[in-house]
Amino acid sequence: MPKSPFFTEEHTLFRTSIREFLHKEMTPHFGEWEANEQIPRWAWEKMGEMGYLALGHPEAYGGMPVDWFTHVVYCEELSRALNAGFAAAMTVHQYMATNHLSRAGSDLLRQKYLAPAIQGKKIACLGMSEPHVGSNVQGLKTFAQDMGDHYLVTGSKIFITNGYYADFMTLCCNTDQGISLIVVDLDADGVSRNKLKKIGWHSSDTAEVFFDQVKVPKENLIGEAGKGFYLISDSLQTERLIASISSLGTLDGVMAMTQQYMREREAFGRPIAKFQALRHRMADLATEIEACRQLIYSTVWKVENGVFAVKECSMCKLYSAELTIKVVNECLQMYGGYGYMEDFPIAQVYRDCRAGSIAGGTSEIMREIIAKMTLDGVEYKQAY
């Protein structure tokens, strides 16, 4: 078989290493974390100790610059373990909350927040969505008032992954200069949090966070005041591509689990994997997954080579999220009545996968971006 045009031997070794690590150190605890709706601190620190939270960050702060296909391997394997809450918590911490510190944070902010986040000693979250605004960055109500040597932050955020247990938030808010990004310590006076109950992603905590005249040092500003919209807009492409890769990992994991079940489960004296109607349904799903994989890998290749691939990232997010819902639904059907039982992992995957078409930009938003670019000729350029 010819070598992959995307993955090297080093990627393959890394895949084996992280898969074995997750199987040994993390997956035995997934049931406990689902029940407790919390990932314990030791798990974050273990991920940091192994260097997984360092991927993509500057070496000066304990990071490890890597190519994009290393991120592919990492995110695929996180999701292939089939605990979407765990995968979401780690990827939000790494690719959404701390990447802005990597790109535009001062040395002081990187030393104070990024370095311990890379070690897993501080947990990070990103504060964008608001109760009456959603993720419309330009309509945000949370405001940081300039008081000279500090800001006073007032407002609220909702649907914040890691928000209940996080140590700090990369807050997207309004300032006198426009949308800005500010790091807020979540143990500061005036911060309160409400843990939200969800259909799935139970291992991952999700919160509504309130700010009542929270005093934040001016030095906690990331980059320039008023430039936060550009930072967020650029990073959304990374967020959507990471979400797509994560969906691909879920697809691989749920298909492998279901195929194994079909080989073992017998009906009418033979494995259900031998029934043509079921075999052909699985063949169709495998074909669609491979098409999704090639779309994602080709987009990653473009991004790796400097393309600001807004259209392709949106297509990846849309297609992979919708396909995951379809595939998991079909796979659950293969289990019959057992698929509806909590004792079978497919039930959790079924709950978890529904968030994919909502989080990180809904499928409707993805379709509108694609329509603007393909029908209206709109072009998006990297701004920061």
Cβ contact 331:346 at 8 Å? yes
Closest CA to 300 of 320, 316, 321, 286: 316
Q: How far apart are CA 58 and CA 71, in angstroms?
A: 15
Angle between helices 345-353 and 228-264 (to 10 degrees): 150
Q: How far apart are CA 105 and CA 110, in angstroms?
A: 6
Cβ contact 162:144 at 8 Å? no
Q: How far apart are CA 77 and CA 353, in angstroms?
A: 16
Count, residues in the chain:
384
User: Where in the sequence numbering do the catalytic residues fall?
Assistant: 239
Q: How far apart are CA 348 and CA 58, in angstroms?
A: 36
Q: What are phi and psi of 33, to 5 degrees?
A: -70, -35
Q: How far apart are CA 59 and CA 342, in angstroms?
A: 43
